[in-house]
């Protein structure tokens, strides 16, 4: 729901600037914003530690593969 709200707000703000603005390069703004969101998502994903249960399962699988 939040994504739909933010995308609708983005489209509204861009269309309020006019067609000339969009044709001149305003259409690039959402793409640049998405790069920032991807970087934040990757940072969050890398900073959250794995659960103990997942680590145990991963260790068990590694020991089965090597034996």
State the Cα–Cα distance between residues 48 and 56, nearest whole angstrom: 17
State the Cα–Cα distance between residues 67 and 49, nearest whole angstrom: 27
pTM, full prediction = 0.56
State the Cα–Cα distance between residues 7 and 54, nearest whole angstrom: 35
- In sequence order, which residues have a C-beta less than 8 Å from that of residue 27 and are 6 or more positions away? 14
- pLDDT level of residue 67 (50, 70, 90 thresholds): low
Structure tokens that stand for 53 in this block? 């249960």
**Per-residue model confidence as pLDDT tens digits over 1-33:** 898 999 999 999 999 999 999 999 999 999 998
- For residues 33 and 10, the answer to whether their CB atoms sit within 8 Å is yes
């Amino acid at each position: 729901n939040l994504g739909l709200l933010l995308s609708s707000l983005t489209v509204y703000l861009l269309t309020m600037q006019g067609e000339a603005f969009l044709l001149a390069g305003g259409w690039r703004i959402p793409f640049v914003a998405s790069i920032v969101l991807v970087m934040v998502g990757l940072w969050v994903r890398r900073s959250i530690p794995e659960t103990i249960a997942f680590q145990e399962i991963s260790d068990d699988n590694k020991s089965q593969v090597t034996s």
